[in-house]
Amino acid sequence: MSRILRTILKRELQSYFSTAIAYVFILIFLVLSGLFTFYIGSFYERQQADLAPFFTFHPWLYLFLIPAIAMRIWSEERKSGSIELLLTLPIARRHLVLGKFLAAWLFAGIALLLTFPLWLTVNYLGDPDNGVILASYIGSWLMAGGFIAIGSCMSALTKSQVIAFVLCSFVCLLFVMAGFPLVLNAFKGWVPLVVLDTLASLSFLTHFAAVSKGVLSLQDFLFFVSVILVWLGASSIILDIKKGG
């Protein structure tokens, strides 16, 4: 990793932890994932030693938690004016966009890792396939990356964090829902089949379904990686167009 990238990553990550955001976020994430898993996901009633109920809810959890960390990526800098400082330092645009993304992604990773008591619990209660659990963790983190990349792009659009949050949640919702029968049915019949297939194939839900069962295929892996790259590219372009505000 280049030096400059590390410098930016470090500063951004520190800035998460220097405000209350980090702690509030982690706390809420842990509480909600616990609630979802044990109450709604009927963790005990299923009588199975795995974390499928935990992972199944991640797309929905991320839908409003990830925008909460991604909204600040650029909006905060626009609001405070520090973007003028940042963009006049000799830093290549790709390092800047990637550094900020990686910081948010690492932060989400830390929150994810802190759910390890759940993993301990299933191992205590039964004999789960830990390979499956690991694959699910990686898949979930990849999906979080996709959400964050979308958030970075939405955040680059506006200096209002609230607007960035709403936009990001909305676009993420579109991506999650794209594979839903409800959505697909609405399009069925009047759009060409290719479009329908493309739409379905863009769904986070479709790609995550296999992942949450512990199957991390190369195809799903590549899907999330390309989602990340495309949205980061878009962030970079928007920054160039909308520098001054």
Ligand X SMILES: Nc1ncnc2c1ncn2[C@@H]1O[C@H](COP(=O)(O)OP(=O)(O)OP(=O)(O)O)[C@@H](O)[C@H]1O
Q: Nearer Cβ to ligand X, position 189 or 244? A: 244
11 in contact with another protein (CB under 8 A): yes
Residue 233 token pair: 């590219």
181 in contact with another protein (CB under 8 A): no
Give the position of tokens 């390309």.
226
Contact 212, 52 (CB under 8 A): yes
Residue 107 token pair: 């932060």
* Contacted by 124, from another protein, ligand X, none: CB < 5 to 8 Å by type: none
Q: Position 134: which residue type?
A: L
* Contacted by 94, from another protein, ligand X, none: CB < 5 to 8 Å by type: none
20 in contact with another protein (CB under 8 A): no
**Contacts (CB under 6 A) with ligand X, residues 206-245:** 244-245
Number of residues that bind another protein (CB under 8 A): 23
Per CB under 8 A, which region of 74-82, 131-139, 156-164, 212-220 contacts another protein? Answer: 74-82
Among 28, 30, 87, 106, interactor with another protein by CB under 8 A: 87
Number of residues that bind ligand X (CB under 6 A): 2
Q: How far apart are CA 228 and CA 35, in angstroms?
A: 29
Q: How far apart are CA 223 and CA 201, in angstroms?
A: 9
Q: How far apart are CA 93 and CA 237, in angstroms?
A: 9
Q: Tell me how crowded residue 76 is: count the other CB atoms within 10 A of its CB.
A: 16
CB of 163 to ligand X, least distance (A): 17
Q: What is the dihedral of CA 68, 69, 75, 81, to 10 degrees?
A: 130
In the complex, which residues of this chain contact another protein (CB under 8 A)?
A: 3-4, 7-8, 11, 14-15, 18-19, 80-85, 87-92, 243-244
